[in-house]
Amino acid sequence: MMVLLMILLCFAPKDAKSQAISLQAGRMKSLKKGGKTIQWLKENVRFEQSGSMVFCDEAEYDPQTEDLVGRGNVRITNPDGATVTGKILEYNNATHIAKVSGGVTLTDGSMTLTTPWIQYHTQTKVGWYGSRGNIKDKETQLTSVSGSYNPAQKTLFFKNKVVLTTPEYTVKTDTLQYRTDLKKAQFYAITQLDYKARTVVFNRGYYLTETQKGEFYGQVALFDSGRTILCDTLLFNKKEQEGLAHGHVYIHDTLDQWQVWGEHAHYRGNAKSFSVWNRAVAYQGSGKDLFRIKSDTLHYNSDTAKPIALQAINQVAFSQQTASGTCQKLTSNRSDSTFYFNGNPVLWDSLTRLSGDSMKMQVKQQKIRSLKAFPNAFMAIQEDNLHYSQIQGDYMVQWFNNEQKLAQMQVSRNAKSIYYMREADTLQSANVVSSQIIKILFNEGKISSIILFQDPKGVLYPIADLPAADAKLPRFVYDIQNKPTLEVFNPPHTTQIPDFPYPNEAQRKAQLSKKANKKKS
């Protein structure tokens, strides 16, 4: 964007005051034209303005109005090496405005500007073009309908169909301002910033070209190799490949099937990770295997070399198929496909409540295979509105079948149980047992048999004779009202992924495909 700086200075006199024009030519004479006496010049017409030389084939100069019009092979050379060529020069020595038109080309070293016309104020040194310009400087190219430079404010300003192309990125927008002293690009309209594998779309913002840091506002969307981040504000660091998002955050990771909502997020491209906090809600998978989770803070890492894939912290709730639960910290370990629950974890299915000081759940192919609770493990199963089978011990392990139903359980150390027996689906008796180890088999979520190991003790009561003191174990809790419902996992805000405002061919095809799929559904 520095390329326009020399473009518009090439007319500039070093003295801001008007100077008389000293004209030279092969032929020169006075003529009457329109009731005025003008000077007519031809053959190698030339004059100097504070070191800049102006050449043309012929010219007319009005001494009264100080208007000069030059035609044919207009050429302006600047002491710094910049050269402007065109067909017509219009210059007024009183208003200090110069205009070159007719296939204008300006060259300055490796930089070239082509435009139909270019205009310049020799006192304010403000220059502009307004009929499309194309600037090339080595591998950098900028096009816009209009452009200007204000040296007092050190500001370049481009307007209407602005496209900046560099080897590293392409910018497309309607309005672009560049501060040459701050190396700062300011955007005032919807903008698309394309890198090789990354695109940022936003309504306004700025980008520091030297440090490669930017801050973008208003329906910001970052598209990065199968991942999409939406937010109200995005602080972006290209060198570090990271972004800090604020307000109505949404992350969609198509590679790992994650959708995440929250109010703030930290995205780290190099580390393949993101963190979301404040009302964080996330979904992974699809259909009946959809995993839902909510917490104050969520950390996720898609790098398969990292042992921890997911970590949720504070006020955690989660749900998958018929199972749901709460805890204060949940950690998903990628290396052994295990979830760890800490901080008063509780797990529910349709009729069962399980708790312990901590839990460990192994998942394979998105199905729960085993679940361990320790210490102070406790499980309650609702038999009817008044009766609950209960199991407690220091250590509890559960195994699940392919239908995700509890198949068997083993309780170790100080194991105790109250379980009810049925006849014709009616509760008939209650068995109160204890031993060091209890093994329990289940059928359709109900206890089918119990095996006791080491110091077994037990009493069988007809249900009507079960003492009230023996009906509940010391750790009994069945707070089904605290079981997370699906409404708990509703996203905190609605989202809509925007279209690319300036799509390339691949992006255009992707948008057409997305619209076609919407029509089919």
pLDDT tens, per residue, the chain with 521 residues? 333 433 433 444 444 445 667 889 999 999 888 788 899 999 999 988 767 789 999 999 998 888 999 999 999 887 777 788 999 999 988 888 889 999 999 887 888 889 999 998 877 778 889 999 998 888 889 999 999 888 788 888 999 999 999 888 899 999 999 988 888 999 999 999 998 888 999 999 999 988 889 999 998 998 988 889 999 999 989 888 888 999 999 999 888 888 999 999 998 878 788 899 999 999 988 887 788 999 999 999 888 888 898 999 999 999 987 789 999 999 998 878 899 999 999 999 888 899 999 999 888 876 788 999 999 999 999 999 899 999 999 999 999 888 778 889 999 999 999 999 888 888 999 999 999 999 989 887 677 888 999 889 999 999 999 999 899 999 999 998 999 999 999 999 999 888 999 988 888 888 887 776 766 65
Beta bridge partners of 359: 341, 373
Size (the chain), residues: 521
Query: How far is 23 from 45, CA to CA, in rounded Å?
Result: 7
- Whether residue 55 contacts residue 42, with contact meaning beta carbons closer than 8 Å, is answered with no
How many degrees, rounded to 5, is the angle at CA 239 between CA 234 and CA 243? 20
- From its phi and psi, is residue 451 left (phi > 0), alpha (psi between -120 and 50) or beta? beta
Domains in the chain with CATH codes: 1-124 (2.60.450.10)
Contacts 24+ apart (CB under 8 A), 352-357: 352/379, 352/380, 352/381, 352/382, 352/406, 352/445, 353/379, 353/380, 353/477, 353/478, 353/479, 353/480, 353/483, 354/378, 354/379, 354/396, 354/398, 355/379, 355/475, 355/477, 356/396
Q: Determine the pLDDT at residue 520.
A: 62
Predicted structure pTM score: 0.82
- Whether residue 340 contacts residue 327, with contact meaning beta carbons closer than 8 Å, is answered with no
- Whether residue 296 contacts residue 267, with contact meaning beta carbons closer than 8 Å, is answered with no
Q: Tell me 3's DSSP state.
A: H
Query: How far is 354 from 391, CA to CA, in rounded Å?
Result: 9
Q: Which amino acid is located at 175 in the chain?
A: T
Tally Cβ neighbours within 10 Å of residue 480. Answer: 11
Query: How far is 56 from 506, CA to CA, in rounded Å?
Result: 48
